[in-house]
Amino acid sequence: MTAETTKETIMTETSKDRVFIFDTTLRDGEQSPGATMTHAEKLEIAELLDDMGVDIIEAGFPIASEGDFRAVAEIAERSKSAVICGLARAQLPDIDRCWEAVKRAERPRIHTFIGTSPLHRAIPNLTQDEMAERIEQTVSHARNLCDNVQWSPMDATRTEWDYLRRVCEIAIKAGATTINIPDTVGYTAPRESAELIRRLIAEVPGGEDVIWATHCHNDLGMATANSLAAVEAGARQIECTINGLGERAGNTALEEVVMALRVRGDIMPYATDIDTRKIMQISRRVATVSGFPVQFNKAIVGKNAFAHESGIHQDGMLKNAETFEIMRPEDVGLAGTSLPLGKHSGRAALRAKLKDLGTEVGDNQLKDIFVRFKELADRKKEVFDDDILALVTATTDGDTNRLQLVNLKVVCGTGGPAEAVLEMEIDGQEYSATCTGDGPVDAAFKAVRQLHPNAARLQLYQVHAVTEGTDAQATVSVRLEEDGMIATGQSANTDTVVASVLAYIHALNRLLVRRGKTGSDVKEISYKDV
């Protein structure tokens, strides 16, 4: 099979204006400190990506841990339409392990990489010739296993031009069908990004027979701009993540490049197969499972992306929505109309509201959400859409419930230390503790630790109000680290202290699950990001 034939097989019935979306939320996104997902969460996100129309899903780094291998292998077996890709360093055992994980996919891909810039060549202490030899060996090995091979020169944008051109040619001759050009540290600018892709396509022998891809990081805030510039120069694959999740400042945000191509098709006439109406649903789900909330003013998926407070803006919107909106909320999966809910609303109305908000839940989860919705409706005058979404976020997603909150009372004020009286159920038995602390949350957390001793370190404690008013729900996010394992917990309640304890217990329950998996959810080796 020739490189040209393979390209046609990968990009079925394509035209020069088709851009392929390569999502690496489950690999690059999960590398963001604290964003580790459970096995079940990875499978769920992969299914959502596949259903949304993502072309290639980079499901993980199979040799990193047994947990990563199992997740990639199961995603490969469950895949419907998307190419399922695994990452492998330029080492034969990595590539073999990657192939074992993805080979059961209907459309598998091996993605192998090596750092080619002077800084990255110094890490394995390889000369240019030694690295070139390794590239030829490893890409050839990958191609002997799989017809669909992607190769990446890590830190390409800081690699000497002559050497970058040389190694890209070697990779193509060795059988790579996609050449990805990573801006690993977010160093480049749009003009440079475009020029680099343009020169590579024009000057690398065999460049016309492969797909050129771009992978941009957001360290200088230019990831989306750099990716779009690369597409205009001839790249036909964009590597990205949901919500721009990723190491440091993150990656190119899938929702940004997809909607930019859709809205500005007049100057960027390139198409994707993404069903944009599913963007909000997966954005919210990724935010929940990763523990990384979306900033309010985030493009496309932020809470304020379609909100208008200025009087002039509101007046314009009432007269013509296009005055201040360049896309419709419905285009990204937001409900166009509002169905008010209150304490007299039933399950059917709640399910319909959730569907309008882009969230589908099973019967058991709906039952749990409905109970808490009724409790909330009794406490609040008005239940907003964001309140309902917070209830969904606060579910335990099937994690173990060995630890459960039974009752909490706190006493605090200016007269002395705060006191928390906590009742918890642990493995079916009820226990109680009374602790003091520097504030009610500190006292309550101490009471939890007294009843359930643990060495988990609190990495993140974050509170934000879901809606306006003194009766607003507080959504609390907690991130814990213990022996290299990281777990996040979230909860929402009109009582901030109760929400805090519920989120803390949620995270502890997740740690209990991960202890029982012999570290399968923990990265067991260190590796660099592509």
**Residue numbering of the annotated binding site for Mn(2+):** 28, 215, 217, 251
Position of tokens 């072309």? 55
Tokens matching residue 307: 């909100």
The contacts of residue 318 (CB under 8 Å, 6+ apart) are none
Question: Could you tell me which of 300, 261, 262 has the C-alpha nearest to residue 279?
Answer: 300
Q: How many CB atoms lie within 10 A of CB 2?
A: 8
Judge whether 488 and 459 are in contact, CB under 8 Å.
no
Question: Could you tell me which of 218, 273, 268 has the C-alpha nearest to residue 243?
Answer: 218
Question: Could you tell me which of 291, 227, 233 has the C-alpha nearest to residue 259?
Answer: 227
On the CB side of 517, CA atoms within 13 Å amount to 19
Tokens matching residue 129: 């010739």
Query: Could you tell me if residue 44 is left (phi over 0), alpha (psi between -120 and 50 degrees) or otherwise beta?
Result: alpha
Helices 190-203 and 223-232: crossing angle in degrees, nearest 10, is 30
Judge whether 528 and 154 are in contact, CB under 8 Å.
yes
Alpha carbons 474 and 518: distance in angstroms, whole number: 34
Q: For strand 403-411 and strand 418-426, is the pairing parallel, antiparallel, or unpaired?
A: antiparallel
In angstroms, the Cα distances linking 358 to 329, 388, 403, 454 are 12, 12, 31, 38
Q: State whether residue 91 is helix, strand or coil.
A: coil
Render 169-232 in DSSP notation, one character per residue.
HHHHHHT-SEEEEEETTS---HHHHHHHHHHHHHHSTTGGGSEEEEEEB-TTS-HHHHHHHHHH
Q: How many CB atoms lie within 10 A of CB 29?
A: 27
Which helix (DSSP H) or strand (DSSP E) does residue 247 occupy? none
The contacts of residue 285 (CB under 8 Å, 6+ apart) are 44, 45, 48
* Identity of residue 365: Q
Give the annotated binding-site residues.
28, 215, 217, 251
Alpha carbons 189 and 335: distance in angstroms, whole number: 36
Judge whether 349 and 325 are in contact, CB under 8 Å.
no
Alpha carbons 249 and 223: distance in angstroms, whole number: 10
What is the sign, positive or negative, of the torsion defined by CA atoms of 478, 244, 241, 324? positive
Alpha carbons 254 and 274: distance in angstroms, whole number: 10
Tokens matching residue 483: 């022996």
Alpha carbons 168 and 211: distance in angstroms, whole number: 12
